[in-house]
Amino acid sequence: MHNFNSGPSILPREVFQQASEAILDYNNSGLSILEIGHRTPAFEAILHEAQSLVKELMQLDEAKKVLLLHGGASTQFFQVPMNLLNENATAAYLDCGTWGTKAIKEAKLFGHVDVVASSKDRNYSYIPKGYPIPGDAAYFHYTTNNTIEGTQMHAVPETNVPLVADMSSDILSAAMDFNRFALIYAGAQKNIGAAGVNLVVLDESVLGKVQRPLPSMMDYREHIKNGSMLNTPPVFAIFVCMLTLRWLKSKGGIAGIETLNRKKAALVYDTLDAISLFHTPVAKEDRSLMNVVFRVDDPALEKEFQQICRENNMYGFTGHRSVGGFRLSLYNALPYESVVAITDLMSAFAKKKG
């Protein structure tokens, strides 16, 4: 089986094995991981190891806080401006895809939003460049990788205002200076672990500056104070995150997995570029290493290729319902062999169809 799902997505096989064993008996305790108390030493050790692995893998400064919270990135679309944006202040946002658009919509509920650039004019097929970021902005927000459109930011923008990034679909996939960001958030279900938990990495220095009263569950300061246990955390999801982070460390960390990710993406794009039957609408310099989108112009051939993929145990290869076509998600845990399998299938299909 070859799993190209965009999320929830493929996880390492050994993580499945370890997680399934823990469901029956966690660490020879006689209890399932699903039933241990969240304030027991057993779970506290899991939580602390997961947070420590995030710090180690991302090479974070000691001052950075690592939270593992309920909800996905969509919760952060409003939690970020709720905590960082005053009603009379302005936040700068980059609009380069569906998720950025959703984040902008939520931010407008809390203050002014300056959309500094957008690629909507070409169906989000490229990343805008050369745009100014206002120096008085409360923060600058962008999405590092656009899962639906197949574009990716390959450099961190230069700015003196606090940087906020939604890294849900490429977190831990390539090396960068994560300390440059005031706040990072990422849903776990692509590169970190199972759905149901959200990673937040932030500087405390950007908090406590808004005048509005904050519900305790929406206040980052309360989550920091309570060590990600302001309420009952998603115990099993955090456990799977810890196992996945352990696996990533064993593979050489982010630097090691980046080498594999670039190899996988290169094989797919080289195949696409060599076959006229398939084409990708994404600007070459902005192609995503995580989500490769492509199309077949003939609807009949598209359906035929879909059927062939199913017959060859390919899963999750269709594009998002809003854009159609095909999408291959090449997340950290996807084996290179799966990429070889589908590119061989693409080449054989194209040859057969002339």
Is residue 182 situated within a structural domain? yes
122, containing H or E segment? none
Same domain, 147 and 117: yes
Cα torsion for 5, 9, 10, 11, to the nearest 10°?
A: 180
What pLDDT, on a 0 to 100 scale, did the predictor assign at position 267? 98
What is the pLDDT at residue 184? 98
- Amino acid 354: pLDDT: 73
Percent helix, strand, coil in the chain (nearest 5)?
A: 40, 15, 45
Query: Which pLDDT score, from 0 to 100, does residue 297 have?
Result: 85
Q: Are residues 281 and 134 in the same domain?
A: no
1 within a domain of the structure (yes/no): no
Give the count of domains, the chain: 2
pLDDT for res 72: 87
Query: What is the reported pLDDT for 321?
Result: 87
> What is the mean pLDDT for each group of 10 consecutive residues in the chain (354 residues)?
96 97 96 96 97 98 96 95 97 97 98 98 97 97 98 96 98 98 97 96 97 97 97 97 98 98 98 95 98 94 95 95 94 98 97 88
Beta strands in the chain (DSSP E): 2-3, 65-69, 90-95, 112-118, 140-143, 145-146, 151-152, 163-166, 183-187, 198-202, 278-279, 291-296, 314-315, 326-329
In order of 28, 138, 159, the CA distances from 131 in angstroms are 56, 17, 11
Shared domain check, 289 and 269: yes
- Rounded (5°) CA angle 131-137-138: 135
In a domain? residue 3: no
291 with 160, same domain? no
Give the domain range for residue 272: 253-352
Q: Which residues are catalytic?
A: 99, 166, 190
Distance CA 56, CA 61 (A): 9
